[in-house]
Amino acid sequence: MKITKVVYVALTFTSLQLINAQSAKAQQKGEPFEGIDASWQNGNDRRDSSVFKNMPFFTPSVLMDINYTYSFNNPNDNTVVGSTALARNNEVQLSALHFGGDFNYKNARARFMTQFGTRSIVVPRNDLSPYRGQYKLADVYRYLSEAYAGYHFDKWNGINIDAGMFMSYIGLNSYYQQENWEYQASFTSDNTPWFFNGLRIQIHPNKNWKIEPWIINGWQSYGKFNAMPGIGGNITYMSSNSNLKVLTNNYYGTDAGGIKERIRFHSDNSLLLRYFNKPESRGISRMAFSLTGDLGFEKGGGVNGFSDGNATEGPAQYFASAMFYNRIWFAKNKIAWTVGGGYMTNPGRYLVLYPTGQASPLPNPNDPTKTEGAFPFSANPGDKFEGFDYSTNIDFMPNQSITFRIEYVHRESSVPYFAGKGGVTSQTGFTTSTLDPNWRPDLVKSEDRIILAMLFRL
């Protein structure tokens, strides 16, 4: 994302001269990804500018995501299982309301975005680190999607040092649906981090490259599971003609609570190519695809990476996935059609989103990375999980601030996982009902749904 240096409004002739001199200096130094069009990219802001771009010191931002999703499984409790984008079936939902913006003053910089709606409940529940210690970290941070401050250095094409909570790039998709080609993310993105909490340094040696080291609390975690912080980084290249983007993200940490000898490594890699571009065409105006592949493992503490070990080393525990999407724009980029999907395998299920409701209301006291309850979803070493998905959608984008989307999604798993007709809450679908001793969560191996979404950004 391009980071804009703010030129401040002044009233005197002397101040105007100073501004012109500073602007010339900034132009000479260059900007991150200067002159490169990233608006077509999956996981990126499609706007070419903000309507607030001329405001000094602060650029506001407002996003709203409203959806209706129809599940062909029609669970009795309307609960969506295994998604960070959706929470409720067959209901109109405010999935996300974000507001905040960017501050800039003499190279000091900060950004914050709030989050309200169902995502403020759905996403933090996947972070079990708050169960270590006091103060309910999930509640403290729940209503913030990102909040950080830092400093910009006018070196090369820019160097930024930021600390706080910021978005993750692992999995390609953006946390904000307004930036994604598809609404329901493929397994690759849905089961990898949406946020990081810690320190990052963004280094732009020239307009084409970004090198970004991280020191963070852990894998999508508000706190740390053990003494060691997570470390990692991103390297991004974008071509000068704006048609190619290549990136790699890599992570190393210890994210099994109380099992400090278990390490996690994850590598996430994406290629995006725009292979046709005639923005003024009333027919096909643009075509592009994105390809993402992830590979990672956990090793130690009773699990053994990519291969089954002996009784001491334990079974294989790894993550391998890929997703591919192709998008075609029409009518001067006002309409777009996307089709794609992906595959994931995750022996040990250490990154699988646990089913919600009575299936997994509490963490296991002996291992806070796993769940417990009346009917826990098994996530033991050696437990297999494979899943695949495909989807297609049509977007209508009358302007750069709003998108109307209709999407069909099919998802399938190797074990019962998605909510079936009986739901995952109770025999009546209500949390207030006394459970029938013979009732069990109705988990099935596949689901089909239609999503209607209105995505607003200002």
DSSP class per residue in 40-82: TSTTS---SS-TTTT-SSEEEEEEEEEEEEEETT--TT-B--S
Element housing 26 (H / E): helix 13-29
CA atoms within 13 A of residue 444's CA, in its CB half-sphere: 16
Is residue 276 within 8 A of residue 310, CB to CB? The reply is no
pLDDT, mean of residues 387-407: 97
Is residue 300 within 8 A of residue 279, CB to CB? The reply is no
97 — pLDDT class (breaks 50, 70, 90): very high
pLDDT, mean of residues 420-445: 90
pTM of the model: 0.89
pLDDT, mean of residues 346-350: 94
Model confidence at 363: pLDDT above 60: no
Model confidence at 267: pLDDT above 90: yes
Task: Delimit the domains of the chain by residue range.
Answer: 13-457
How far is the C-alpha of 148 from the C-alpha of 186, rounded, in Å? Answer: 28
Instruction: Please tell me the CATH code under which domain 13-457 is placed.
Output: 2.40.160.10
- First-to-last C-alpha distance (Å) of the chain: 16
- Mean pLDDT, the chain, whole residue set: 88
How far is the C-alpha of 437 from the C-alpha of 149, rounded, in Å? Answer: 52
Is residue 448 within 8 A of residue 410, CB to CB? The reply is yes
Q: Could you tell me the CA-to-CA distances from 383 to 105, 220, 297 in Å, in that order? A: 52, 22, 14
At 18, phi and psi to the nearest 5?
-65, -40
pLDDT tens digits along 145-157? 999 999 999 999 9
Q: Which of 16-25, 122-131, 422-431 has the lowest mean pLDDT?
A: 16-25
360 — pLDDT class (breaks 50, 70, 90): very low
Instruction: Please report the pLDDT score of residue 24 as a whole number.
Output: 39
pLDDT, mean of residues 76-97: 94
How far is the C-alpha of 70 from the C-alpha of 408, rounded, in Å? Answer: 10
How far is the C-alpha of 444 from the C-alpha of 417, rounded, in Å? Answer: 5
> What b/e sequence results for 247-280 when a residue is b if at least 16 CB atoms lie within 10 Å of its CB, and e otherwise?
bebbbebbbbbebeebbbbbbbbbebebeebeee
311 — pLDDT class (breaks 50, 70, 90): confident
pLDDT tens digits along 182-240? 999 999 999 999 999 999 999 999 999 999 999 999 999 999 988 899 999 999 999 99
Residue type, 337: W
Instruction: Please report the pLDDT score of residue 349 as a whole number.
Output: 92
